[in-house]
Amino acid sequence: MTPTSKLVTKAIVTGHTRGLGAAIVDALRSRGIDVLGVSRSPAPPAARAAQHPGSFEEVELDLSDSQAVAQWLAGDRLAKFVGGAQLGLLVNNAGTLGPVGPSSVQPPLEVGRAVALNVAAPLMLSSAFCAATAEVPDRRIAHVSSGAARNPYAGWNVYCATKAALDHHARAAALDAERGLRIASVAPGVVDTDMQAQIRGVDDARFPMRERFEQMKRNGQLTSPEEAASNFVGYLLSDAFGQTAAADIRSL
C-alpha cells in the first residue's frame, strides 16, 4: 500500500454527491487525502461537514455538457488544486445507465448526453489531469468501469459501449507510458446504489435481465457503497494499481 500519510495526496472525484462516489470521497478523506468533488449538484450539508482529516472542495458542473466541461478545464481550478501534490488521483466515477432499451426506443438526445457523460467527460478530465500533474511524481487515473464493459446485456447497448470505451482508453493510455502515470479502468462489483434501484424499476421489455438483479437484492448479494469504496480506494492506493489496465475488484 502506498504510504499516503507521508505524501501530499490530492484526489479529484466526479459524481461525488451520492452512492459509490460519495463513499469513495469518504474513504479518501478518512485517509487524510484532500478531495475536489465535481458533480452537477453539491454534496449534502452533512457530507460537507463530515469530520475527516482530508479537506474537501467541490465544483458544480454538468459533466454531460462537453462545452461546459471544456470551459471549466480552460480555467486554472484543477491546476491550483493539484499544486504541491506528491500523489495525484483522478477518479472518473460519474456516469449514467440510460437510455435503457433497444436502439429503436432510445431518444437520440439521451444517447448523446449519455456518451458525453460516460465517455467524453472522463477522457477530457484525464487529458487535463495529465497536463496539470506533469510535475507530480506519482499520478493515477481510475475509471469506474462495470462488468457491462466486458459482457453485453440486452437493453444496455449504450451503457455497455460507453463502459467498454473507458476500458479501452485505459489500455491504450497505459501504452503511452507517460512519466509517473498509472491508469486503470476498474469494475467495483455490483453495488447497492440508486442505479441498482433504477435497474430494478425498468420494464422487462426494455431490460430482460431485470429479475436477476431483483434476486441479487433479495438475496443480499449487492455490495454496500462503503465496502465497495473501501476496496476500490485500497486498490487505487496500492502498488498493484495500473498493472492491469482493465481490472475487476472481485478478482483482485
CATH number of the domain at 50, please.
3.40.50.720
In a domain, 147, yes or no: yes
**What pLDDT shows up at residue 214?**
64
**What pLDDT shows up at residue 1?**
41
In a domain, 219, yes or no: no
In a domain, 168, yes or no: yes
In a domain, 206, yes or no: no
Among residues 145, 237, 234, 140, which one has the least CA distance to residue 182?
140
In a domain, 63, yes or no: yes
What is the residue whose three cell numbers read 459533466?
A: 63
pLDDT in tens, 34-79: 999 999 988 877 666 677 877 899 999 999 999 999 999 999 999 9
141 within 8 A of 129, measured Cβ to Cβ: yes
Strand order in the sheet with 138-144: 56-60, 34-39, 9-14, 87-92, 138-144, 181-187, 246-248
Q: What letters, b where the CB count within 10 A reaches 16 and e where it falls short, cover 183-202?
A: bbbbbbbbbbbebbeebeeb
Domain tally, the chain: 1
Q: Which residues of the chain have pLDDT under 50?
A: 1-4
In a domain, 140, yes or no: yes
The three grid cell numbers given for residue 39, joined into one nine-digit string? 458533480
Print the domain residue range for 140. Answer: 4-189+225-251
**What pLDDT shows up at residue 182?**
98
In a domain, 200, yes or no: no
Model's pTM, two decimal places? 0.89
Distance CA(199)–CA(208), nearest Å, equals: 11
In a domain, 232, yes or no: yes
What is the residue whose three cell numbers read 476500490?
A: 232
**What pLDDT shows up at residue 200?**
59
Q: Is 242 left (phi over 0), alpha (psi -120 to 50) or beta?
A: left
Among residues 207, 168, 169, 216, which one has the least CA distance to residue 189?
216
